[in-house]
Amino acid sequence: MKHENQRRKFIKTTATFGVFSLAGLNLLSSCKEKEGDEGQQISPPEDLMQEHGLLNRILLIYDFNRTQLINKQNIQQEALYDAAQIIKTFVEDYHEKQEEDYLFPRFEKANQLTDLVKTLREQHEAGRIITQQILLLCKTKILSDNENERLTQLLTHFNTMYRPHEAREDTILFPAFRKIVSKHEYDSLAEEFEDNEHKLFGKGGFESMVERVSIIEKDLGIYNLEQFTPKI
């Protein structure tokens, strides 16, 4: 009963801050899977933006755990560890690597949005440090009060940084990318992105990550989208 009350309190709180974007995230996930089934190729920015949908669902998982910690409630460390592991393997080691290898250098070569690119690079590095520390803390069997406080800070820092980070990429960097490359280069990069994903995660790699996130959400009781609809 205590866990259920805490979960409801979290939903009410996060709803105030606009987590209804989850509906859009689920739609993006469905779109990517549908397009893959039909054999249609999506553009590099579309690919990256859909992966941001996956990231956003993990930010919600981080929000939930942060709320639990603030309210002195026990957290499911294994579930949080799994979420952070997806951040490391799919977001940092793959998604961000795509940006760093294929997008950022082209903006720097074109001398376009260089200040933004510099900040995005720095935030990638900061995020990797935070993720490593979250993973280490989640391996600890029993967290001390100081460790719980530190974990709360790490989750706060990560979400506070990544929400504006991905918003700037989605609204500024990605739309500008089409303007600095040729159509041939643009199309060939779409194929390369897809090949890289398949090499690292196999066919349907994105969909498998979405399923892993869904399992974590179900374990935490925050999977059903309807529960985020406000009672007006």
Q: Hey, what long-range contacts does 87-91 have (CB within 8 A, 24 or more apart)?
A: 87/55, 87/58, 87/127, 87/131, 88/128, 88/131, 88/132, 88/135, 90/51, 90/54, 90/201, 90/205, 90/209, 91/51, 91/54, 91/55, 91/58
Query: Whole-angstrom Cα distance, residue 159 to residue 57?
Result: 11
pLDDT tens, position by position, 202-212: 888 899 999 99
Q: pTM of the full predicted structure?
A: 0.83
Q: Which residues in the chain show pLDDT less than 50?
A: 16-38
Helix (H) or strand (E) holding 61: helix 44-70
Please tell me the predicted confidence (pLDDT) of residue 40: 60
Domain around 176 = 2-228
pLDDT tens, position by position, 114-170: 999 999 999 999 999 999 999 999 998 899 999 999 999 999 999 999 999 999 999
Please tell me the predicted confidence (pLDDT) of residue 95: 96
Please tell me the predicted confidence (pLDDT) of residue 38: 47
CA distances (Å), origin 126, targets 83, 123, 172 = 18, 5, 21
Please tell me the predicted confidence (pLDDT) of residue 55: 97
Alpha helices in 77-226 (DSSP H): 77-86, 96-98, 104-109, 114-138, 145-168, 174-180, 183-201, 205-220
Query: Whole-angstrom Cα distance, residue 176 to residue 103?
Result: 10
What is the number of domains present in the chain? 1
Task: Please name the residue that has the structure tokens 């709320």.
Answer: 67
Tell me the CATH number at 51.
1.20.120.520
